[in-house]
Amino acid sequence: TLFSCTVVVPIVQPVVVLVVDDNADAHQLVQRYLQGSPYAFVGVRDPHQALARATELKPRVILMDVMLPGIDGWELLGRLREHPATHNTPVIVCTILPQERLALTLGAAGFLRKPFTRAMLLAALDRQIALLRGAH
């Protein structure tokens, strides 16, 4: 007797995370932390390009520092919240500053205090994706 079996494997699209941070080391760290996870790293070092990249890429989550050159991170957060293409995209503010309450008040969906571990980053991303799935 012959046995035939068909295995259907769903293609899982990576969850794009746009990382806005002017620090190259921060990009390397987040990229390393996301390896082997369902999250795909896309980095932007120039905060002036962040809104354009976000509207083009439509990331599921934006992870951003607030200490950025040339533009205030809080102002950028406001622009992301106001723009039709990104107003529903969760933004996790990621900074060394102890300003979680301010971040959440200004529209951030989450807050990560630097330095953070891989587990902390993945938990923060998982939380946002779970909330997005619950909203649909």
**Average pLDDT of every residue of the chain:** 92
Question: 27-55, pLDDT tens digit by residue?
Answer: 999 999 999 999 999 999 999 999 999 99
Q: Are strands 91-95 and 110-113 parallel, antiparallel or unpaired?
A: parallel
Tokens linked to 2: 């012959």
- Side-chain-facing half-sphere of 71: CA atoms under 13 Å: 19
**Nearest 5 degrees, angle CA 64-CA 119-CA 43?**
30
Question: 109-136, pLDDT tens digit by residue?
Answer: 999 999 999 999 999 999 999 998 886 5
The answer to whether the pTM exceeds 0.85 is yes
Q: Write down the pLDDT at residue 86.
A: 96
What are the residues whose beta carbons fall under 8 Å from the beta carbon of 57, sequence distance 6 or more? Answer: 16, 18, 42
Q: Where are the alpha helices (DSSP H) in 2-85?
A: 24-34, 50-57, 73-82
In one-letter notation, the amino acid at residue 44 is V
Average the pLDDT over 2-22 and give the result.
Answer: 81
